[in-house]
Amino acid sequence: MANKPFNAFKLAQDQFDAVAEQLGLDQATKDFLRNPDREYHFNIPVRMDDGIVKIFRGFRVQHNDARGPCKGGIRFHPHETIDTVRALAMWMTWKCSVVDIPLGGGKGGVICDPHNLSMREQEGICRGWVRQIAQNIGPIQDVPAPDVMTSGQHMVWMMDEYEKIHGAKFPGFITGKPVNMGGSLGRTEATGYGVIYTLREALREMGTDIKFTKASFQGFGKVSQHAVKLYREYGGTPVCVSCWNQEEQKSYSFLKKDGIDIDKLLSITDRFGGINKKQAESIGYEILPGDAWIEQDVDVLVPAALENQVTEETAPKIHKNVKIMVEGANGPTTIEADKVIKERGIFVIPDFLANAGGVMCSYFEQVQCNMNYFWPKDEVLGKLDAKMTDAYLKVSALARKRKLYMRDAAYMIAIQRVAEACKMRGWV
Ligand code: GLU
């Protein structure tokens, strides 16, 4: 989608620098927080199904642990770079802080494409990743979780390897596990639901009934699927989703003006969120180019795919009726696009606030693992809703009071808390 060279870490640092300046942080704190505390780069040798050993490149970045152990997912992506992992680790620090959970920020990645790997080969990558870093991660150091193209199964393999190495059971080592393996009910839905809880609050503040709104989503993976579902349950009309087509190596948008039937669409979707084009056409979807999701005449846009999607080139295509953009993905909007959106007065619920439901529920999962006592789903989702709503209201109150852009208000709260923790520990 984007042709311009893009560096997610530069975006994360630029966003940080601007707010650090406004907050008047001292030089040491600025220098400390604009780079990760620690990072690990390593080789992961895996014997492939054809008998040949292939070396994959793995990363873990620990951005900051002043407020608690680092926390963040592991992505499997063919275009993974250390700078993307650095940015995502930094965003995790702000994410955990803005929703006020006692965790820091980390992120991991492996350069690989699970589309072309057998489950046995993926297991080899998971176990190899843990072996390389087993002394530097753990329930009280750094807790991984799923992210782009990783799932509960990957988490169980990683947990199993970690437990073998350390010779005991550590269910709190990793989150996003399947429910029968120490996972939390509600974790699968949590990120998508969190996106919609914040949207619900924003619409309520605007005095708009969600039932009279339409929304367009980018992506149809774990976040988008559940966001579409809850948005529909609340009475909204989701009209468009997009997804990556692995065969053609490009993305498509799927438009259904009278509203997406989520169960039907899921029945023709693969495990990576790829929708079958032919079948979609046969049940009434218009198949449009990948970018078309952003041009739709809707009230709400939800970029919930990857970083660098709402750019200088695509932002001007946003329809004049769009009032809110809720960022389900991490880092979907570039600095240049942010300017366009600001000028047009579109209300943004920034990524590290909007999509914090996932890590919030991961935190609940850790709490339940530590107690070895698991809550019913209603209780998990009730707690998730309460904490997401509270975090949203604090950010929107600050934005209103100080006439700030929502992203800046969220950054102010998050950075301030982390800076204070660093100061209290005597680090800066
Ligand atoms: N990968 C998710 C995120 O970007 C969840 C992280 C977690 O649960 O630790 O927020």
Q: Looking at the structure, do residues 118 and 91 belong to the same domain, yes or no?
A: yes
Residue 1: pLDDT over 90? no
> What pLDDT, on a 0 to 100 scale, did the predictor assign at position 3?
58
Residue 320: pLDDT over 70? yes
Contact between residue 396 and residue 202 where contact means Cβ atoms under 8 Å apart:
yes
Q: Looking at the structure, do residues 174 and 196 belong to the same domain, yes or no?
A: no
Question: Is residue 107 flagged as an active site residue?
Answer: yes
In short, whether 366's Cβ falls inside 6 Å of ligand 1 is no
Sheet bearing 105-111, strands edge to edge? 38-47, 53-64, 105-111, 70-77, 142-146
Is position 24 within any domain? no
Residue 24: pLDDT over 80? yes
| CATH number of the domain to which 158 belongs | 3.40.50.10860
> What pLDDT, on a 0 to 100 scale, did the predictor assign at position 5?
81
In short, whether 161's Cβ falls inside 6 Å of ligand 1 is no
- Mean pLDDT for the stretch of residues 127-147: 97
Give the Å distance between the CA of 327 and the centre of ligand 1: 14
Average pLDDT, the chain: 97
Is position 5 within any domain? no
Question: Which own/partner pairs from 53-56 qualify as long-range (CB within 8 Å, at least 24 positions apart)?
Answer: 56/110, 56/111, 56/112, 56/125, 56/128
CA distance readout (Å), 225 to 189, 281, 356: 9, 19, 16
> pLDDT of 36-47, one tens digit each?
999 999 999 999
Range of the domain at 76: 38-180
- Mean pLDDT for the stretch of residues 3-15: 89
In short, whether 334's Cβ falls inside 6 Å of ligand 1 is no
The radius of gyration computed from the CA coordinates of the chain, to the nearest angstrom, equals 20
Residue 2: pLDDT over 70? no
Residue 321: pLDDT over 50? yes
> pLDDT of 356-400, one tens digit each?
999 999 999 999 999 999 999 999 999 999 999 999 999 999 999
Q: Looking at the structure, do residues 174 and 260 belong to the same domain, yes or no?
A: no
pLDDT above 70 coverage of the chain, percent: 99
Helix (H, G, I), strand (E, B) or coil at 197: helix
Annotated active-site residue in 107, 177, 214, 387: 107
Helix (H, G, I), strand (E, B) or coil at 275: strand
Counted domains in the chain:
2
- Mean pLDDT for the stretch of residues 50-71: 98
Residues in contact with 89: Cβ distance below 8 Å, sequence separation at least 6, in sequence order: 36, 61, 62, 63, 70, 72, 105, 106, 107
Is position 11 within any domain? no
Give the Å distance between the CA of 262 and the centre of ligand 1: 24
- Mean pLDDT for the stretch of residues 345-365: 98
Cβ atoms within 10 Å, residue 158: 27
Query: Of 80, 147, 177, which is best to mutate to test ligand 1, by the most ligand atoms within 8 angstroms of its C-beta?
Result: 147
